[in-house]
Amino acid sequence: QVQPVESGGGSVQSGGSLRLSCSVSPYNPTKYTMAWFRQVPGKEREGVAVITSVDTTDYADFVKGRFTISQDNAKNTVFLQMNSLVPNDTAMYYCAAGPLLLPRLALLLPTSFNQWGQGTQVTVSS
């Protein structure tokens, strides 16, 4: 099992950028699929971006072209670069680790992941 720990959240104006980090320990990029999710009160948790052990990535339609997920194996860290932020991006962002092999249609499903961080808040003002 791994323990993800998120950081980098904060408040930003619309159009701004933030970079979230997820420190994972113990980290073995060949054993896990890593993903970012987000949730606002009263709504279900939704997938944002995912990266596999071979650096294949996938994104929710609402962040394509704006967000980029990456991982630095040497630093045991997964990143989410968020650009062109809008108020609808306001949410608690969670990092999660899941099984090495996941069907493509399951890559952004919260139920596919079983190791979760505590979350980091992102607030975008207009």
For 74, left (φ over 0), alpha (ψ -120 to 50), or beta? alpha
Confidence of residue 122 (pLDDT cuts 50, 70, 90): very high
Answer for the pair 1, 117: CB distance below 8 angstroms, yes or no.
no
Q: What is the pLDDT of residues 29-80, one digit of tens each?
A: 677 899 999 999 999 999 999 999 889 999 999 999 999 999 987 778 999 9
User: For residue range 65-118, what is the model confidence (pLDDT) as tens digits?
Assistant: 999 999 987 778 999 999 999 999 999 999 999 998 888 888 999 999 999 999
